[in-house]
Structure 1
């Protein structure tokens, strides 16, 4: 059995609906203006994006957790995009189908945030 790498993905409601339609087994294709799929390596960073970006943009934000084959994930160098804990993998959109084939288990929602009515 191969080792896995746990990753998180801050997700809006539309993307989450597509993940649900896949049976929680795959990430949907990227939109034309989204050349990179970027899961993150830190749960706190994913929470920050889901809460502070997805909620204002779409009313809800979710943090998902999933595992990918560690050896396969090693082809994507870790990108530090801010502070020392702001880490992402950058998966080119055209490689997302192959990336999905290396997921281990199901994608699961571990946190959710919603806009509060005023």
Structure 2
């Protein structure tokens, strides 16, 4: 089965929820976030983790997680460019998050982290197999 590697910037609370799922699922999104938007580029995810998660969340931590999803699943969703070429993301309605979680192949892995909005990106490549 063909898969697509995606990235998602997350904060500490979301990372803890992913860990609680044995690194296999994303937690439900807030009602204020009607769309889950994983991105196709680690660099774009790192920018979001630095500029949002590490700068605006309680713990001032931003993480980039990496995961593989069935291409067949993703074919049902639109791949959009978010402003700048190379900033591509899939728009998956929050109510379909359980379907996305079921389509994840393997485990979610931490690719890198930021500590504070002015910190450098630290590559981690943590796997949990």
TM-score (norm 1): 0.94
Partner of 1:10: 9
String of CA shifts for 1:23-78, please: whole Å, max 9, x gaps.
00001111111101110011110010011211111200000000000111111110
Count of aligned residue pairs for this structure pair: 115
User: Which residue does the alignment assign to 2:61?
Assistant: 60
Matches within 5 A, 1:69-80: 69-80=70-81
Moved over 2 A (4+): none
- Tell me the distance in 2 between the aligned counterparts of 1:75 and 1:48: 27
What CA distance in whole angstroms lies between the structure 1 residues aligned with 2:115 and 2:71?
32
User: 5+ unaligned residues in a row in structure 1: which ranges?
Assistant: none
Q: Corresponding residue for 2:100?
A: 99
Distance 2:3 2:23 in 1: 17
- 8 Å CA contact retained: 2:50, 2:116: no
Q: CA deviation digits over 1:58-108, x for unaligned, max 9?
A: 200000000000111111110111111111001001111011101000000
- RMSD, matched Cα: 1.0
Describe the SS at the equivalent of 1:32. Answer: coil
* Equivalence for 2:89: 88
Q: What secondary structure sits across from 1:108 in the alignment?
A: strand
Which range moved further: 83-92 or 107-116? 107-116
Q: How much does 1:7 deviate?
A: 0.1
